Amino acid sequence: MSIPHGAVPGKNKEPGRTLRDLGEFRLLNELVLPTVGSVLGDDCAVLDIPAGVRQFVVTTDAAPRPLIFSLGVEDFWAWGWYSVLINASDVAAAGASPLAFTSSVEAPDTFQVDALREFFDGMTSACHYFNLMNAGGNLRQAPRFACHGTAIGTLPPGESALNRRECAPGDAVFVIGHCGLFISAFLNARSCGILTLAPDDRDRLAKPVAQNREMSTLRSRHLVTSASDNSDGLLGAMWNIAERSGCGFELNLDELRIPEIVSSTATANDFDPLNLLFCWGDWNVVITVASSSIEEFLVTTRAEGISAMRLGHAIAGPAHLAAVTRGKRYELALLRNENFTRSSYNADVSDQLKFMLQTPLLKRQLPTDSLLSTCADEMPPE
């Protein structure tokens, strides 16, 4: 599969028409409405409520500027995809079925019309992929380009959304989806150029995929006690659950399955492969599973083709992260993106990457007398 949009990555377009040349209403009629669909054009969109829906779940998030922009690839199609992805991933973490998406887009009047068209093309493609009706939104002038999106999901009668509050000591913690592949693709593109990447690796950067099917399946089987999506780092997702559930997590680092591309990329860049494994970008979901449900969970993930890797287990609170490796127990550094800090993604992406990839994971050594054993026969197969 290849990136299905626009010019060759890394080559800027020739200057063309700007938003000032068309104005708001020509943009809406000639660009936005033909791109996103004829359902729009009124003050509100009308949503048909699917049969058997008991609840709606709603989430709102800003569309992050794709990391490939830092490679000199100004890919607004990818930015449009991300505007939907970040919200679809929250719907996935709730285990809900996608229903609709709205957006609020703003740009300076000097912004290129072609770039805005690419953005809405990417948004439209993502809505189709994630089965979200594009219910419209707003377009306005502002000092810089930005987009905020809202996604709506549904739950059937008798079902509740997954949350971060129901984890209990003894639950196993898994990650749904692959780990470390996005940041490995980025590091290889930064070293050798994005055109040297295999098409699948380019797609990981331009149009990552959230775990909607996988999480809806697991929720419907009542196999998940808590969940949080990885938009800011795998350890950050675990911390979200630990903090809300009042528990800790103990990871078994020696049992983790590190993909070969992650190991080789880490070696080439002199990084710890675990830092890559725990980074953001893969849009996976951290979940917990009751010990009584682990066998059924493993059978289900194998039968449904769901990628699941066990990370460890929950232990008594207060909220903390620990890890066992080579018979010793350590406190884990909380590596995550956090807004309003100097190393946040939105403040300085270079500092955020340095923090995520170069901060040592293991902090002080902890006593081992409270170390809980893990059962090898409960681990997912290689």
The pLDDT, as a whole number, for residue 16 is 86
Q: Which residues of 51-76 are buried (b: 16+ CB within 10 A; e: fewer)?
A: eeeeeebebebbbbbbbbeebebbbb
Average pLDDT, the chain: 92
pLDDT class for 43, splitting at 50, 70, 90? Answer: confident
- CATH 3.30.1330.10 domain residues, the chain: 19-155
* 264-269: average pLDDT: 98
Query: Global pTM?
Result: 0.92
pLDDT class for 10, splitting at 50, 70, 90? Answer: very low
Query: In the numeric block, which tokens belong to residue 52?
Result: 């058997």
Residue range 19-155 forms a domain whose CATH class is: alpha beta
- Tens of pLDDT, residues 317-369: 999 999 999 999 999 999 999 999 999 999 999 999 999 999 999 999 998 75
CA 309, distance to chain mean position in Å, is: 16
Helices 76-93 and 212-220 meet at what angle, rounded to 10?
Answer: 10
- The CA distance from 147 to 106, in Å, is 6
CA 328, distance to chain mean position in Å, is: 31
- CATH 3.90.650.10 domain residues, the chain: 172-378
The pLDDT, as a whole number, for residue 39 is 58
Do residues 335 and 361 make contact, with C-beta atoms less than 8 angstroms apart? yes
pLDDT class for 11, splitting at 50, 70, 90? Answer: very low
Do residues 149 and 60 make contact, with C-beta atoms less than 8 angstroms apart? yes
Q: What are phi and psi of 302, to 5 degrees?
A: -65, -45
Whole-number percent of the chain with pLDDT over 90: 84
Helices 76-93 and 199-206 meet at what angle, rounded to 10?
Answer: 70
Tokens 């620990």: give the residue. Answer: 322
- Tens of pLDDT, residues 288-318: 999 999 999 999 999 999 999 999 999 999 9
Do residues 35 and 120 make contact, with C-beta atoms less than 8 angstroms apart? yes
The pLDDT, as a whole number, for residue 1 is 34
Instruction: Look at residue 125 and tell me whether its pLDDT is greater than 70.
Output: yes
Count other Cβ atoms within 10 Å, centred on residue 341. Answer: 14
**Looking at the domain 172-378, which fold is it?**
Phosphoribosyl-aminoimidazole Synthetase; Chain A, domain 2 (3.90.650)
The pLDDT, as a whole number, for residue 379 is 40
pLDDT class for 47, splitting at 50, 70, 90? Answer: confident
Instruction: Look at residue 374 and tell me whether its pLDDT is greater than 70.
Output: no
The pLDDT, as a whole number, for residue 381 is 39
- Tens of pLDDT, residues 94-112: 999 999 999 999 999 999 9
The pLDDT, as a whole number, for residue 375 is 34
